[in-house]
Structure 1
Amino acid sequence: MSDAKSLIMVPAWAGQATVEELAQEAHRGQRPRTDYVELAKELDADVLDMDYMQNRSAPVARALAKRAMVPAQVLEVFLRRGGPRHVVARADRMGLPLALLNKITAGRRDVVLVSVWLSVKKKALFLHPLGVHSHLSAIINYGSVQMDHARDYLRVPADKLHHALQPVDERFFRPEDVPLGDYVCAVGSEARDYKTFARAMSGVAARAEVAVGSSVLSLSGDPDETFRGITRSAASAGEAGVKVHVQLDHRALRSLYARARFVVVPLQDVDADCGVTVIAEAMAMGKAVVVSATRGQVDLVRHGNNGLYVPPGDAAALRAAVQRLLDEPEEAERMGKAGRELVEQRLTLDGWVSHVASVTRTSAQ
């Protein structure tokens, strides 16, 4: 462990870019700034990533990492529990087991968890009935629905829950003065419903383009069945005449957004805010969004203001919304400007970093 005052745990995988590489690529304009890299600067923190595990971790943790990376990272922090001033876990699957270990051994009670989806059963049991929130000083979540679930059903005290909207690097993703293409685009993998998207676009006088997959998912070797299902869904969309892009780099993705008429986020009806990253990126680019009104996706879109909601799984309703914005380009432009205003007011990366850093510092007092 270095002399840094804090430690940020992030999922690690083979081939993962180092903190320095991510920062340099962002400086060169090759990618957006990475939230945990910026947070590490603010907190004067080490980042527990693949570089750390390979070069600075305890021998026993390094050995375990060859078989099971996440348990190895949890073990590394547990073994060093007297070291960092603050610990921020950037994933549920890291922070919850660490809190359980600390509870069993009467260890530190000040881990901050940046969470995404706590209502999933295998995660929820850590909070209720196991009650590991006693050894979490704060839980930060992007979605208000998940925050409500944690308070009302998982018995997490309200004063430990902090809502931080999904940030976006508004400097990288920004409106561009380029000619619009003849397509609408959909982006992302988690909980997507591209079969419905393909049906909705059938007969619409605009092309449809989908960008799926990410270097994170492919390099991690994550066998998650949901992702395999989304891959099949995207393949079905491709068979239906939708152009599918796989693993675009960040600048190519930005170009796809820039020339799109607007952005569609077709979702399965889940209780987490899946799709929020793409919604934030699209809004930052000044694009109107058409989004499935799922149980969990409630925080960013204001129907008729910065986008349109449609019932999940309803191809006819989705087609009608798409056709409306194609027929009314001025309306799509107005919504896009409203989305950009929301980004500048509430979704900036610097604002998120400041909020999370403040919660981390104050919750440890």
Structure 2
Amino acid sequence: MSDQLPRTLIIATNTSMPELAAAVRDGKHQRVDYLELSTRFGSRHIDYGIVRANPILQRLEAWLRMDLRLAWQVLQRVRRERYQAVISLSERVGIPLALLLPRNVRHLVIFHHGMSEHKLRLIKGLGLQRRWDVIAAISQAEAEGMRQALKMPAERVVALHTPVDTNFYRPQPATSPASVVQSLGLSHRDYPTLIQAMRRLPHIPCHLRVGSSWVSGKAGYENETLPTNISLQPFVPPERLRNCYIESRIVVVPIKASTQWSAGCTSVQAAQAMGRPVIATRRPGLREYVVEGETALLVEPGSVEQMVTAITTLWDDPVRAEAMGQAGRQLMEERFTLDQWLMRVETLVQWMVAYPKPYSQFSNVTITL
């Protein structure tokens, strides 16, 4: 750890499994961003594990989509242990913390849904943008959108693409030929479009592996009649998930058209890191995680025709599919590794602590990642 790194508290918006660190160490789980940040900063992280149950507040938090109880616990830790900086790994805790943290504590918040009209109205109405030192959006498109909507200078809103553990997710020898189209994930998925496309391709087997470690709810396929070539598969832990990618001839990530511009990025990244060709929906943020035509084929939201064409193209041309998979692996190694992400976060934190001035005085300051 650099001597210049400030005393920093890492805020994770989930509940850590007790055995998570051991699973990472044993190679059964990918490296985790908040654990790696804690190590890098020689600091600690906190998560929902410190929050007391409160049914009334839980319902309010679910409605607001904000972590009020966690934010309050963070405030107590910051006051008691004199942290200089806080990294909020989601706006769910970053928004309430903007109202709670002392002005002298530097605050970096990572936005996963930065173009939500509701959130933007709330931020502007309360002037919260003046309370964050750095906003990091998970795509350049969302960073630019937030800058314009909040009328903030470019150095205050930056792109910080999500990372992938390219050592955990890496190409591996297959024990049998990749034989299925596979679609994974839950958040903002457009499974009805994929189902309609697969109905037109009865000779191609497809696995829907619906689930998420981060969110819950319906996936959108529940009201659909599945054709015989589609089978529902259980959600599996990361160690087994790698085998699912290995058996996939093509990985499809269909996304709804919404303000969640980067939904599906982690599935797209893991697939490419595993050397698999990807078909995904063309969304402003998600498209930054692929090179269209080289590592993935993109289709317009809700277009069954384009989905059919894309699947047929790669299924019927295994040489091209293999080349796209190899290019995807190279892309992940060059631009999206977890270690690269950690270095960028460290740079952001060092920068914002080095210039502890009022918001209005940052207009001529630049930052290079």
- Shorter-chain TM range is 0.7 to 0.9
Whether contact under 8 Å (2:272, 2:329) holds in the other structure is yes
Partner of 2:318: 329
Matched, 1:285 2:274: yes
SS of aligned partner of 1:235:
coil
1:251 is matched with which residue?
A: 239
Deviations 1:177-234, CA, capped at 9 Å, x for gaps: 103232111111111110110111124222111111124435xxxxxxxx33x2xx23
Distance 1:253 1:236 in 2: 26
1:182 to 179, 183, 194: 179
Contact 1:234–1:244, Cα closer than 8 Å, also in 2: no
1:196 aligns with 2:196: no
Q: Report the CA distance shift for 1:65/1:76 in structure 2 as closer, same or farther (over 3 A).
A: farther
- Residue pairs, 1:263-342, within 5 angstroms: 263-271=251-259, 272-342=261-331
Q: Could you list the runs of 5+ residues in structure 1 that have no partner in the other structure?
A: 55-61, 219-226
Q: Distance in 2 between matches of 1:113 and 1:197?
A: 34
Given that residues 96 and 126 in structure 1 are in contact (C-alpha distance below 8 angstroms), is that contact kept between their aligned partners in structure 2?
Answer: no
Change (3 A) 1:342 1:48: same
Residue of structure 2 in register with 1:139 after alignment: 135
Return closer, same or farther for 1:240/1:45 CA change in 2, 3 Å cut-off. Answer: farther
- What percentage of residue pairs aligned between the two structures are identical? 27
Secondary structure at 1:262 match in 2: strand
CA distance in 2, matches of 1:36, 1:65: 27
Alignment partners' CA distance in 2, 1:285 and 1:244: 22
CA contact (8 A) 1:109 1:135 kept: no
Query: Partner residue of 2:365?
Result: none
The secondary structure found in structure 2 opposite 1:298 is: helix
In 2, are the aligned partners of 1:301 and 1:307 still within 8 Å (CA)? yes
CA separation in 1, counterparts of 2:224 and 2:119? 32
Letter in 2 for 1:344: E
The runs of 4+ residues in structure 1 deviating greater than 4 Å are: 62-67
Letter matched to residue 240 of structure 1: P
* Counterpart position of 2:29: 31
Mapped to 2, the partners of 1:28 and 1:80 lie a distance apart of 31
Specify the code of the residue in structure 2 equivalent to 1:239.
Answer: L
CA offset digits 1:153-190 (Å, max 9, x no partner): 12232111221222101011101110323211111111
- What SS class does the counterpart of residue 129 from structure 1 fall into? helix
Aligned pair 1:113/2:109, yes or no?
Answer: yes
Distance 1:65 1:112, change over 3 A: farther
The residue identity in structure 2 corresponding to 1:48 is: I
Query: What do you get for the CA RMSD once the two structures are aligned?
Result: 2.1
Q: Provide the rounded CA distance (Å) in 2 between the counterparts of 1:159 and 1:250.
A: 36
Corresponding residue for residue 5 of structure 1: 7
Distance in 1 between the 2:224 and 2:41 partners? 43
1:6 partner amino acid:
T
Question: CA contact under 8 A between 1:86 and 1:110: conserved in structure 2?
Answer: yes
Distance 1:122 1:37 in 2: 31
**1:12 Cα deviation after fit:** 3.6
Q: CA 1:141–1:256 in 2, change beyond 3 Å: closer, same or farther?
A: same
Q: Using the TM superposition, give the Cα deviation of residue 113 of structure 1 relative to its aligned residue in structure 2, in angstroms.
A: 0.2
1:298 CA displacement: 2.4
The aligned counterpart of 1:22 is 20
Shift of 1:236: 4.3
> Number of residue pairs matched?
336
**Separation (CA, whole Å) in 2 of partners of 1:64 and 1:364:** 35
- Shift of residue 64, structure 1, vs aligned partner: 5.8
Q: Deviations over 1:281-312 (max 9, x none)?
A: 00000011111112432202222111111111
Shift in Å at residue 238 of structure 1? 6.7
Tell me how far apart the structure 1 counterparts of residues 303 and 118 of structure 2 sit (CA, whole Å).
30
Cα distance in 2 for partners of 1:363, 1:339 equals 33
Distance in 2 (alpha carbons) for counterparts of 1:203 and 1:12: 40
Name the SS for the 1:239 alignment partner.
coil
SS, match of residue 256 in structure 2:
coil
SS in 1 for 2:258: coil
